[in-house]
Amino acid sequence: AQRVTQPEKLLSVFKGAPVELKCNYSYSGSPELFWYVQYSRQRLQLLLRHISRESIKGFTADLNKGETSFHLKKPFAQEEDSAMYYCASRHTDKLIFGTGTRLQVFP
């Protein structure tokens, strides 16, 4: 079965520090991967997808097929980045979500 693993429940950093939120997937084909973000008391929203190879709010994520990873990175964290982050993989017409990582950015 297709799975998405986020090994860290909580990641705490200070403002200005680099951030890497880990995501590993298990899928034998060509995966379609996403990062979703949920700010406090708000709905989930798409942050970025690997197909677009874009940078959103300073975040980037590179698909590494050899390591089956799609880690989310930002060189300098900001306090407003504090949120819950979910990695997801598309399987047919469904999304499979990881368990999420809470990012706390301290001033």
Partner 1 sequence: NAGVTQTPKFQVLKTGQSMTLQCAQDMNHNSMYWYRQDPGMGLRLIYYSASEGTTDKGEVPNGYNVSRLNKREFSLRLESAAPSQTSVYFCASSGTALAGGQETQYFGPGTRLLVL
Phi, psi for residue 75 in degrees, rounded to 5: -70, -30
Using the contact rule CB under 8 A, the part of the chain among 14-22, 59-67, 72-80, 96-104 near partner 1 is 96-104
The residue range among 17-25, 64-72, 73-81, 89-97 that interacts with partner 1, by the rule CB under 8 A, is 89-97
Is the backbone of residue 80 left (phi > 0), alpha (psi -120 to 50) or beta? alpha
Q: Which CB sits closer to partner 1, 19 or 88?
A: 88
Is the Cβ–Cβ distance between 58 and 48 less than 8 Å? no
**Residue 29 in 3-state DSSP?**
coil
Q: Is 55 in the site for partner 1 (CB under 8 A)?
A: no
DSSP letter, residue 50: T
Which CB, 86 or 105, lies closer to partner 1? 86
What does the alpha-carbon distance between residue 65 and residue 95 come to, in Å, rounded to a whole number?
19
Is 44 a residue that touches partner 1 (CB under 8 A)? yes
Interacting residues toward partner 1 by CB under 8 A: 6, 9, 42-46, 49, 51-52, 86, 93-100
